Chains A and B, each alone.
Chain A
Amino acid sequence: RRDGFASDADNIFLINGASAGISYCLQCLIAQPTDGILIPIPQYPLYSATITLCKGTPVNYYLDESNDWNADLQSIEQSIVEAKNKGVRVKAIVVINPGNPTGQCMSKQCIDGIIAIARKHRLVILADEVYQENIYHQDAYPFVSFRKCLLSAKDADIVDNVELISFHSVSKGIFGECGLRGGYLELINIAKSGKDMLTKLASINLCPNTIGQCMVELMVNPPTEKDESYAVFKQQYETQLASLQERAKIVTDALNKIDGVSCNTVYGAMYAFPNITIPETVAQNAIKAYQGDVAADFVYCMELLLQYGIVVVAGSGFGQKDGTFHFRTTILPPKDQIASLTQSLAKFHAEFLQKYST
């Protein structure tokens, strides 16, 4: 219904949140320590952590901050070549669309480009699309699924052979039922032997929790006009979406007003990932003060917590270009708290630079 292409129930696995499904896939894919998985930088650290736990090799491809955090196809190709030269067998590529922490919404063109790369290098595409309902610029930057692009490709080799596993979750979107742990994955062009192994892994945990399963049903099959609950549901849904959309903008605008902080437009997902300017000397002094093997933006975030009680996650936790610093904040605080939040951030930023400038 979403994509206009039929789907096979046998290729759907309900899972205990998207995270569980990703773990099964990576366990299958990573056979040797030299097996590589392409991950976007910055990325949601489930990927780096799981690749490490599976004893595989993460292969970084950098998203382009100067281009709204879009994927850079050349950069991906380059990463693959460099990895191969180091003896790494690149087997899959993770894409997060809409992006976490970066909030970009991928264009069809970009998606097609990645699919072409996947075909060329025989990569399994792991498409994390859990934020597909968090879309704030619907007209210019709508959500397009990898599945739809793959199945509508002109090249029959792509349509029939490129391996794609797509993930969705009840934790995000509009209603965020995180605690219930529900999600699904869909297999496209996965061989029977591969599917059998995924089934086996899933069966060792018996089954995904049934309430989470029911929640998936409700997510993908909401009330329609004919249903009694439709009116209330629609109103709740639209109000919530509008609120998220509004806050995405308010947060981003407010961050951009802070000296030394800049933030790309948040087109989707639930986060802002502002760039914070920390001069070299400040960074060094801050790291020294913390005696641990920490990044400067970790120190920044720790002090933000201790001084102002604001909890965000340091950009080093997601990965970033060397020499740059970021933090990830959600856009979820209530609207009336955002102004004071960003005012505190502005004050803090100046104080931090001052404190560690000597």
Chain B
Amino acid sequence: KTQYPFPHFVFSHSSSSMSYIHRLHTVGVRNFSSTNTKRLVRSQISTKVLNAEYAVRGALVIRAIEIQQDLKKKAGDYPFEKVIMCNIGNPQELGQKPLTFHRQVLSSVLSPNLMQSGALPEDVTRRAQRLLGDTAAGSIGAYTHSQGLSVIRETVCDFICKRDGLQRSDSLINPSQIFLTDGASPGIKYVLQALIGDASDGILIPIPQYPLYSASIDLLGGTRIGYYLDEDNQWGFDIDEAQRAVAEAKSKGVTPKAIVFINPGNPTGNVLGDEDIRNAIRLAKEHNMVILADEVYQENIYGQQRKFSSFFKILNEMIGKDASFKSIELLSFHSVSKGIFGECGLRGGYMHLSGVETEGYDQLYKLVSVNLCPNTVGQSTVDLMCDPPKPGDASFELFDKEYKGLFQSLQRRANIVSTNLSQIDGISCQTIDGAMYAFPNIAIPKKAVQEAQNQGVTPDAFYCLQLLEQQGICCVPGSGFGQKDGSFHLRTTLLPPEHEIQKVVEKMAEFHRTFTAKYA
């Protein structure tokens, strides 16, 4: 980690970027006012909290929101009319419309008397009634079972079996192994909470990774063990590199307890092949590691050659050939925030436990029960995600049309972004096979690197801040995800609407040329 003359970014609510960067220097000065009688201040707050970082909503994004507010109030002087938020996989923030079927069912579940109007399709009312029928007294407002409504967990079991071509049986998968959660993030945190006792407990995470993992491990006082993805090989999984990471951790007295895979990758967009997954499982078996399979982007697959295989599917194939693989503990995560319809705000998701002992299950159950239950609207959305309308259903035609339209649009945008970015001199971008992001490698001139260091920021944060201030585009610097030393990246989403995305990449190209010339 680079040394900075201050412990953390400071967030300000004032205007210019230069004075903003200036403020970064002054945060080290203690303010000896009434704050020295307080408890919720930097000097007293847990260092685990102070050190955890989550760049997806970090300093740069806070600055972007400030600018948005300035533009709204017509304050400040910016060379653009609006900020394009490319920092987060939040499709509906950029104008994507939700699916009609989903919102009809959710409305009915929240307001059952809507179903009496006769205006809703038959399958909508059927689905809503099925959900309400499983609640304590026909109301979505009651706390449910801490793992979520059992009828939804049944749906999830069926979904997994259908997706993976498996025959449903209780010994293979059953609803007690499914935990519905408020998005995938809480499930991941509970598992890490159970696994991490102290700094001798290590978790392998890919570099680059979605910083929920690094932040959560830091908050729990565990040790991150990074294994580099291979940028030159489509950000692929390199088993030798992972072995190296394990060996290095062990040599330092850290026990690797789990390994995280994000498939499709965030921020990288790679999709693991079947042999990759087998290698991953073998590695986990060799070192007794729990597998955390973050598969929230499983429906965002754009490449023609690549298909998504779940860890559960491949593991079961391996068990079929060698029963000793039953020892593998696999936790798989899915979410309603991604895929095609991106219902991020509803906070829905699930975690699937496979190969986990009763005592492990009991502790996870206890953890989720402290928060009573996942929110019921998010739960309902999981049901809809896992059991969409089928041919013959009243809502199928419209649903299929909306879904395909959205999917193809994402696919086109994935192509536009990766092609156009790669055409910029000094920028190269791997093919985007899946997920919602481009993670281009950007060449930053030495002079700019030096200037960034003088100002105490990472070079890619320096780059992204200027991209924001000059073009109104908000991306997340690669340093927020992790990258090989000396390399620089940024993560942008593919989500700006189709009629804007071309302009976005053009602005990025223009900015890169200007920036490179300025610091030549």
A95 to chain B, nearest CB (A): 16
B128 to chain A, nearest CB (A): 15
A50: which B residues are within 8 A, CB to CB? 370
Within 8 A of B (CB), among A21-62: 25, 27-31, 46, 49-50, 53
- Which A residues fall within an 8 A CB radius of B? 16-17, 19-20, 25, 27-31, 46, 49-50, 53, 91-92, 122-124, 160-161, 163, 171, 175-181, 189-191, 193-198, 200-201, 203-212
A94 to chain B, nearest CB (A): 14
Q: How far is the CA of A212 from the CA of B143 in the complex (A)?
A: 13
B193 to chain A, nearest CB (A): 7
Is B420 an interface residue when CB atoms closer than 8 A count as contact?
no
Docked-complex contact B140 and A179, CB < 8 angstroms: yes
Convert B180-221 into 0s and 1s, putting 1 for each residue whose CB lies closer than 8 angstroms to a CB of A.
001101100000010000000000000000001001100100
Partner of B40 from the list A20, A29, A175, A180 (CB cut-off 8 Å) is A29
Partner of B44 from the list A16, A31, A207 (CB cut-off 8 Å) is A31
A-B contact pairs, 29 of them (CB 8 A): A16-B371, A27-B219, A29-B46, A46-B370, A53-B193, A53-B367, A124-B39, A124-B40, A161-B38, A171-B143, A171-B372, A179-B141, A181-B372, A194-B39, A194-B42, A196-B11, A197-B42, A197-B49, A204-B185, A204-B215, A204-B216, A205-B183, A206-B57, A206-B183, A206-B185, A206-B337, A209-B377, A211-B110, A211-B377
Check A209/B375 contact, CB under 8 A, given A49-B370, A204-B185. yes
Q: How far is the CA of A96 from the CA of B97 in the complex (A)?
A: 42
Q: How far is the CA of A46 from the CA of B144 in the complex (A)?
A: 17
Check A31/B45 contact, CB under 8 A, given A180-B141, A204-B212. yes
Docked-complex contact B45 and A197, CB < 8 angstroms: yes
Is B502 an interface residue when CB atoms closer than 8 A count as contact?
no
- Which B residues fall within an 8 A CB radius of A? 11, 34-35, 37-42, 44-50, 52-54, 56-57, 88, 110, 135, 139-144, 182-183, 185-186, 193, 212, 215-216, 219, 337, 344-347, 367, 370-378
Q: How far is the CA of A189 from the CA of B40 in the complex (A)?
A: 10
Docked-complex contact B345 and A194, CB < 8 angstroms: no
Docked-complex contact A27 and B46, CB < 8 angstroms: yes
Docked-complex contact A193 and B39, CB < 8 angstroms: no
Partner of A163 from the list B39, B88, B376, B377 (CB cut-off 8 Å) is B39
Docked-complex contact B42 and A205, CB < 8 angstroms: no
B37: which A residues are within 8 A, CB to CB? 122, 161
Identify the closest chain B residue to A205 (Cβ).
B185
B210 to chain A, nearest CB (A): 11
B143 to chain A, nearest CB (A): 4
B54: which A residues are within 8 A, CB to CB? 200, 203-204
A189 to chain B, nearest CB (A): 8
Identify the closest chain B residue to A215 (Cβ).
B141
Check A194/B34 contact, CB under 8 A, given A16-B375, A204-B52, A211-B375. no
Most buried by B among A175, A178, A189: A178
B46: which A residues are within 8 A, CB to CB? 27-31
How many pairs, one residue from A and one from B, have CB atoms within 8 Å of each other in the complex?
154
A197: which B residues are within 8 A, CB to CB? 40, 42, 45, 49-50
Identify the closest chain A residue to B47 (Cβ).
A31
B517 to chain A, nearest CB (A): 35
A313 to chain B, nearest CB (A): 13
A53: which B residues are within 8 A, CB to CB? 193, 367, 370
Q: How far is the CA of A179 from the CA of B39 in the complex (A)?
A: 33
Docked-complex contact B44 and A180, CB < 8 angstroms: no
B34: which A residues are within 8 A, CB to CB? 160-161
Q: How far is the CA of A208 from the CA of B35 in the complex (A)?
A: 29
Check A191/B38 contact, CB under 8 A, given A16-B375, A179-B375, A210-B345. yes
B379 to chain A, nearest CB (A): 8
Docked-complex contact B40 and A190, CB < 8 angstroms: yes
B353 to chain A, nearest CB (A): 20
Q: How far is the CA of A210 from the CA of B216 in the complex (A)?
A: 23
| New A-B contacts (13) at CB < 8 Å, excluding given A17-B372, A171-B372 | A27-B46, A27-B219, A49-B370, A122-B38, A124-B39, A179-B144, A179-B373, A191-B41, A194-B38, A201-B219, A206-B88, A206-B337, A206-B344
B205 to chain A, nearest CB (A): 15
B83 to chain A, nearest CB (A): 18
Identify the closest chain A residue to B43 (Cβ).
A193
A176: which B residues are within 8 A, CB to CB? 141-142
Check A178/B143 contact, CB under 8 A, given A27-B49, A163-B38. yes
B57: which A residues are within 8 A, CB to CB? 203, 206
Q: How far is the CA of A160 from the CA of B33 in the complex (A)?
A: 12
Identify the closest chain B residue to A50 (Cβ).
B370
A108 to chain B, nearest CB (A): 24
B139: which A residues are within 8 A, CB to CB? 179
Docked-complex contact A209 and B345, CB < 8 angstroms: yes
Docked-complex contact B376 and A28, CB < 8 angstroms: no
Check A19/B370 contact, CB under 8 A, given A179-B140, A179-B375, A205-B183. yes
A31: which B residues are within 8 A, CB to CB? 44-47
B51 to chain A, nearest CB (A): 11
Q: How far is the CA of A279 from the CA of B324 in the complex (A)?
A: 54
Q: How far is the CA of A189 from the CA of B38 in the complex (A)?
A: 9
Q: How far is the CA of A20 from the CA of B370 in the complex (A)?
A: 10
A179 to chain B, nearest CB (A): 4
Identify the closest chain A residue to B40 (Cβ).
A194
Q: How far is the CA of A308 from the CA of B324 in the complex (A)?
A: 46
B39: which A residues are within 8 A, CB to CB? 29, 91-92, 122-124, 163, 194
B56: which A residues are within 8 A, CB to CB? 203
Docked-complex contact A180 and B375, CB < 8 angstroms: yes
B143: which A residues are within 8 A, CB to CB? 171, 178-179
A20: which B residues are within 8 A, CB to CB? 371
B182: which A residues are within 8 A, CB to CB? 16, 181, 205, 209
Q: How far is the CA of A189 from the CA of B48 in the complex (A)?
A: 23
Q: How far is the CA of A63 from the CA of B183 in the complex (A)?
A: 38
B298 to chain A, nearest CB (A): 19
Q: How far is the CA of A24 from the CA of B474 in the complex (A)?
A: 27
B45: which A residues are within 8 A, CB to CB? 28-29, 31, 193-194, 197
Query: Shortest 7 CB-CB distances between A and B: which pairs?
Result: A194-B40, A210-B345, A179-B376, A203-B57, A209-B347, A181-B375, A31-B46
B197 to chain A, nearest CB (A): 10
Docked-complex contact A19 and B345, CB < 8 angstroms: no
Docked-complex contact A179 and B142, CB < 8 angstroms: yes
Identify the closest chain A residue to B370 (Cβ).
A49
Identify the closest chain B residue to A187 (Cβ).
B40
Docked-complex contact B376 and A180, CB < 8 angstroms: yes
Q: How far is the CA of A29 from the CA of B45 in the complex (A)?
A: 6
Q: How far is the CA of A174 from the CA of B53 in the complex (A)?
A: 39
Q: How far is the CA of A198 from the CA of B40 in the complex (A)?
A: 9
Most buried by A among B49, B135, B377: B49
A191: which B residues are within 8 A, CB to CB? 35, 38, 40-41
